[in-house]
Structure 1
Amino acid sequence: MTAGRKLAFDKDIALDAAMKVFWHKGYVGASLSELTDAMQINKPSLYSAFGNKEALFIQALNKYSTQVEETYFSLLYTEGVNLKQRITNFLTAIVNSQCDDQSPKGCFLCAGVSESANSDIPEAIKLVLDERIQGIYNALLDIFNTDQQAKRQGLDSNAELHARFLSTLLHGTAGLARAGLGPEQLLPVVQQGVRSLELGDNTVNP
């Protein structure tokens, strides 16, 4: 692409389209022709705007992770809401998104992790997946370590286990949503997971 020349397409929209192809097909299964067809661009434009297939996949992973963080992480910190409800709202919103008919079912990151054992997956992608898949765990870990209600109930003493339990629960619901289960089957699992923490219903941080 000549220096200073504007793109003839919306790069963000094209990246969203590529993400959906990768989400459906996986990194290995998605062909360049399927990607360019969905993105409505040609191969030279793909290489010029995004780099190669590996770079495109990594950009899609980063975009998806940022969307998750911006959409859901704030639910863990809503003022005036007790910890039990904040965690419930966070998990419920994610499970509902995993079952949303407007996007591929499940979780793009979880689908990538499931594929990462494939020897055809580049190491650079595996490294980004390892980093990005920790996002939900780290958000939950922060809450259990720093939230005053969590501290009052002693949850900070085993914060790593609680965070790993809930993040693992979400990985499981992502796989089941991808297999066709809906909110009516998966949200009770969320409720059971929150109950296991034995959080009070009425305590709000001062």
Structure 2
Amino acid sequence: MPRAAKYDRRIALDKAVALFWARGYHATSLKQLEQALDMRPGSLYAAFGSKQSLFMEALDVYAVQMVNQLESHLDSAHSPLLALQSFLRELVLGGAAQDEAPARACMIVKTLMEVTEEEEPLSIKVNELLADMEEIFEDLLTRSRREGELRADVDCARLARLVQVQVMGLRSYAQRQVTSKELEPLLTDINGLLDTYRVRH
């Protein structure tokens, strides 16, 4: 009979996400991972294979967290576009689930800026995750157009790319030592940009 694992994989991955998100891939040492996950080197390798494979799993967990956040806003907002706008606000300024976020910058975008050509698996991974998120934005915007919230002539694929550019830029900017008061007007500008695509009644 196989021995039961002495760790909770999901808890371990959540801890890995927090550490990698705060420090980045290269700056996170194996010793720091062992301490954060409370695992010995042998157990860490047995569970995840390598630092890189653990990091890639952590990226998946982080991406799922973002999707769950967006779905939560969709459940509570009166329209898809309002859900997107409130989601963007939480990403940048924080909220109930993000008050203790390790970093304001997106973990995926931080990784995109950090990986080198020699780390092709990581580069492929982050580009796939960003493409997935862009597709989610496109689906949401398409739904908004179908429900009559956005104009019929809106190119939802193009607008989704624009939204992702805004998200990547603003969250990277927010990583600087700037206050929420300084970020608020920028969010207002992004919301105003999205509002230009609305149907005018």
Per the shorter chain, which TM-score range?
Answer: 0.7 to 0.9
Q: CA RMSD in A?
A: 2.7
Q: How does 1:109-188 map to 2 (within 5 A)?
A: 109-116=108-115, 118-120=116-118, 122-147=119-144, 148-149=146-147, 153-156=151-154, 158-188=155-185
SS of 1:153's equivalent in the other structure is coil
- Please point out which of 31, 34, 37 is paired with 2:35: 37
Q: Is the 1:145–1:151 Cα contact (8 Å) retained in structure 2?
A: no
1:11 aligns with 2:12: no
1:107 maps to: 106
C-alpha distance 82-124 of structure 1, shift in aligned 2 (>3 A): same
In structure 2, how many angstroms separate the alpha carbons of the residues matched to 1:162 and 1:57? 30
Gaps of 5+ in 2: none
C-alpha distance 83-37 of structure 1, shift in aligned 2 (>3 A): closer
When normalised by structure 1's length, the TM-score is 0.82
| Cα drift, residue 23 of structure 1 | 1.7
- Please point out which of 20, 34, 44 is paired with 2:18: 20
In structure 2, how many angstroms separate the alpha carbons of the residues matched to 1:152 and 1:25? 39
The code of the aligned residue for 1:112 comes to T
Q: Is the 1:143–1:150 Cα contact (8 Å) retained in structure 2?
A: no
The number of residue pairs the alignment matches comes to 197
In structure 2, how many angstroms separate the alpha carbons of the residues matched to 1:93 and 1:153? 26
When normalised by structure 2's length, the TM-score is 0.84
Structure 1 residue ranges, 4+ long, deviating more than 6 angstroms after superposition:
none
| Cα drift, residue 113 of structure 1 | 1.0
- Bigger Cα displacement from structure 2, 62-71 vs 85-94: 85-94
Gaps of 5+ in 1: none
SS of 1:196's equivalent in the other structure is helix
1:55 maps to: 53
SS of 1:181's equivalent in the other structure is coil
| Cα drift, residue 101 of structure 1 | 4.6
Q: Is the 2:150–2:197 Cα contact (8 Å) retained in structure 1?
A: no
C-alpha distance after superposition, 1:10-69 (max 9, x if no partner)? 222222222222222222221111111111111101011111111100000001101111
C-alpha distance 169-31 of structure 1, shift in aligned 2 (>3 A): same
The code of the aligned residue for 2:181 comes to E
In structure 2, how many angstroms separate the alpha carbons of the residues matched to 1:10 and 1:23? 20
In structure 2, how many angstroms separate the alpha carbons of the residues matched to 1:191 and 1:34? 39
Q: Is the 1:18–1:35 Cα contact (8 Å) retained in structure 2?
A: yes
